[in-house]
Amino acid sequence: MHPSRLPAILPGLLAAVALPLLAQEPAAPPPKPRISVDLSADFLALHVKIQAPEGTTKVQYRFGAETAVPTDSQWTDAPPLTAEDRRVSLDLPLPRSRWTEFQARALKDTEVLATSTKRHTPRALTLVTPERLAALPESDRPAWTAYVEKSARLADAEFDHLAAECRAAAMPRSRPAPSGGEFEIDDDTPDSWYRSDTAARLAAAVISFQTPSGGWSKSLSFEEGSRQPGTHWTSHPDDPWHYSGTLDNRATTEQIRYLAIFHSITGDSDARAAALRGLEWLLSAQYPNGGWPQNYPLESGYHEAITLNDNAMLHAMQLALDASRGEAPFTFVDAPLRQRLAGAFDRALDCLSAAQVSFGGKPSIWCAQHDPLTLQPAAARLKEPPSLSGGESAEMLKFLMREGPLTDRIVALVEPAVAWLDAHRVTGLKKTKNEAGKTDYIADPASDEVYWARFYDPVTARPLFAGSQDGIVYATFTEMAAKNKVSYDYFVTRPGEVIGKEMDRWRKRMDKEGFTPAQPSPGTDQPSR
């Protein structure tokens, strides 16, 4: 064969060799039959939807309500499958509104075609996990383990309490509580109002919505009267355990204060008992390191973080301090409980000291959320990345300066934080409205407006602006607002009050009480980074 003809006949030769080889390859095995199982549960029953594979003549199942399915337990025949799509539905009564494991299998005569096992797994915690607890120093581990275990027991008890009410009324699901606004006491309310029928009805409604663990949810309306059996303690229709006992938006602390005032004026014993249960909740909710989570019993996610956001930890500290002093309206708090509350306040100061972020070895301010175990800055929602908080830190400082005891410990928290805020003013901006009529902050060197960022980068100490929709951290407010809905105050002025009039008041308070700090004031030197 002439070499010039080889390229022309080569493809044919290769095909002649390859075709027999391909013909000898084994055919792909048929797909393995599978049985599809979908489960949902309410307080009365486990609802099961099963689709069996082709060729199934019978479906069997077994399930464990309190424990996993024993390996030697008997299988139960399911009702006949629908002819067109081989489906069957089951409604299995639950003895205590709980289920642990469900198993199903599809059979063709006596041959098992496919099996499926489903296990109930409660939503796991994300920050206070068994793995992270196991990595703690041995000396810290027992307290944290006991804390998490108690939280889980209380959550189970709340579930069982509501389940018992619903089952007694043959209700598969609980009703959400009436939704309302933030519950807040008016300090100017006269004593005569607390003696009114309106105040008594409000007290009864507030008491009725106290969770079995001792806390309250937020966004409740007490105007519609007392809680009825089968009604949840929260107003969330889709997730009834969301914020079931919380410090968010003044919840729990404000209800305790109201009941304490109502008892101090009327002598009502139910209000006294509920207020005491609330104080016990406050003590139980405090982490071993002195911080407070947003919700308790613990709710998975950023709710586990030590939460200064919206002044949650501040309100907890304020209540613990006030009740520990035994002054009106907390004169009914006995000495042992006052001592425990004072200890809780001291541990909170320990937490603030340990969590205060440092730059170049100098303390600055705090974050909106701190990791409960490491105390490092922690994220929450998309618009809340790990960050220092100008707003919440200012409120914490105002509380410590006005109401905290005058001690070197408090001074060590306050003075460097105020100096840091003074050194991190945001100037050269003018607040205005853009073409769309929305708030904007534009560069204006002539502007005399002074702001502080709601959030500062915990590494660079520069302001940051995270989008509420895309979660992207932008360098400027304008860039963030152009691509996201703005539903947050990204600039605040509260630090200015702390640096100005609150600092003056702080100095006068020291002079009036004859207090001289052991360490000289750091002044307003800017911390090194």
Give the C-alpha separation, 417 to 425, whole Å: 13
Give the C-alpha separation, 181 to 283, whole Å: 26
Q: What one-letter code names the amino acid at 368?
A: A
* Cα-to-chain-centroid distance, residue 506: 34
Pair of tokens at residue 391: 């707003």
Pair of tokens at residue 236: 């969330």
What does residue 45 show for φ and ψ, rounded to 5 degrees? -150, 160
Is residue 381 part of the annotated active site? The answer reads: yes
Which residue's structure tokens are 């520069």?
A: 462
Q: What is the DSSP letter of 500?
A: I
Q: Are 245 and 216 in contact (CB under 8 A)?
A: yes
Q: What one-letter code names the amino acid at 370?
A: H
Give the C-alpha separation, 42 to 101, whole Å: 15
Which residue's structure tokens are 């100037």?
A: 427
Catalytically annotated residue among 249, 289, 295, 311? 249
Distances (CA, A) of 374 to 220, 306, 309, 392: 34, 10, 18, 20
Pair of tokens at residue 382: 């998309």
Catalytically annotated residue among 132, 173, 338, 381? 381
Q: Are 228 and 246 in contact (CB under 8 A)?
A: no
Query: Catalytic residues, which ones?
Result: 249, 381
